[in-house]
Structure formats: C-alpha cells, structure tokens
Amino acid sequence: MLAGIDQIGLFIVTGLLLNLTPGPDVLYIVSQGLRSGRQAGMVAALGITAGCCMHLAAATVGLGALVATSATAFTVLKWAGAAYLVFVGISMLLARPAPRVPAIENQPMAAPLEASLGKVFARGFWTNALNPKVALFFLALLPQFIHPQAQHPTWTFLVLGLIFIVNSMPINLAYGWGAGWLSGRLTGLRSGMDVLSRSAGALFVYFGFRLALSERPAT
C-alpha cells in the first residue's frame, strides 16, 4: 500500500486504457494537430490537462461532490459545457479553409499555419473543465483505489488524481504530436484536413447535444 493507495498497478493500467479511449478531449487534440501542426496539437493536449487539474482540485476540496449530489449544480455545469461544445463545433464548421502550401519535391509537405496557441490552449481547457462528467469520473473512480485504512484519504485522493493526470499527459501529447506529424507528411492530406476539421466540428456539436440531454447519474 503506497500512501493509502490500494492496487496501484491496476489503477495505472485502468487510467492508461481510459486515456487511450477517444472522446471529446482526444477529438479536440487531434483536430488541432491536423489543422495547425504539431505545436498546436501539443498545446491543445496541455489545455486538456489543465482542465483535468481543475477538476481534481475541485473534487479534492469538495466541489466535485456538490456537482455529484446537487441536481442544480450538475444542470448548470451540464448546460454550460454543452453550450461550449456546440460553440466550439460551430466555430470549426465555419472556420475558413487552411491555406494551401505546395510541397517541395522530395521534401515533406509544409506544416499548416500555426493557430493562436493561447486560443488553442484556452479552448482545450474549457472543453474539459466544463464537462461535469469528468468531475463525476474522478469521484467515481479514484475512491475505489483508496485503502479503507488510509490515514489521510484526502491526500490519497489527490495523489491518485495526480498519477492519473501525469499518465495521461504522454498519451495526449502523443495524439497531438502524431496528428501534427501526419498533417505535414502525408501528400494529399492537406486537401482533406478541412473535411476532417468540419467533421470534428460536427462531432463536437453532437457531443454538446448529447451532454445537454444526459441525466445526472443516480447517487
């Protein structure tokens, strides 16, 4: 038992598998990498990670429990998150096509023009931070790995959350780096990036409506 943690190996494996599963966060990271290059994809990953840190901090001090037990708090955050996902999706649908840069013979295709990294980071942060299901995820998963005899369960909860976030960073950064690498290497992908970006935008709108129609899990 490490710092009150029960079955730390199983916890790490569970976290890695969950982080590998595509969802709105991964979709945002990949779409930014494909459209604006490796740097934007990795900054998007950092924004998502910052959102997770906010959820962990809130859950540690009890705000996450409020969302889990209060129908009003859950509903407010749910609608805010849904509205933001729809906003991001519509922005991607209406975005102007990425400028085309011809590839030089025998050289990789030029990377897309970098987006405003501050905006990429902020959108990643809010995409994650306004999703109440992330808060509920921390509250549902982490306590299962706190040993019943842990002397400081709150600190154990925090340590588990930090382990989960640290393990998620390489995966998210790899998604962003890989998408950016593909955007600058594969001939003909550039013409399809606008279609991919709009498809991602449509999925964000879908995720937003799905979140808006979701119900608070029974407690």
Q: What is the pLDDT of residues 32-42, one digit of tens each?
A: 988 888 999 99
Give domain status of residue 16, yes or no: no
Rounded Cα distance between 205 and 99, Å, is 25
Mean pLDDT value across residues 188-208: 67
Total tally of structural domains belonging to the chain = 1
Give domain status of residue 14, yes or no: no
Give domain status of residue 160, yes or no: no
Expressed in angstroms, the distance from the first to the final Cα of the chain is 28
Rounded Cα distance between 186 and 206, Å, is 29
Partners of 145 in the β-ladder: none
| Residue 51 pLDDT | 93
Q: What is the mean pLDDT of the chain?
A: 77
Mean pLDDT value across residues 170-186: 86
Give domain status of residue 202, yes or no: yes
Domain holding 186, by residue range, is 24-140+168-213
Contact 199, 35 (CB under 8 A): no
Give domain status of residue 148, yes or no: no
Task: Look at the pTM and tell me if it is higher than 0.75.
Answer: no
Give domain status of residue 52, yes or no: yes
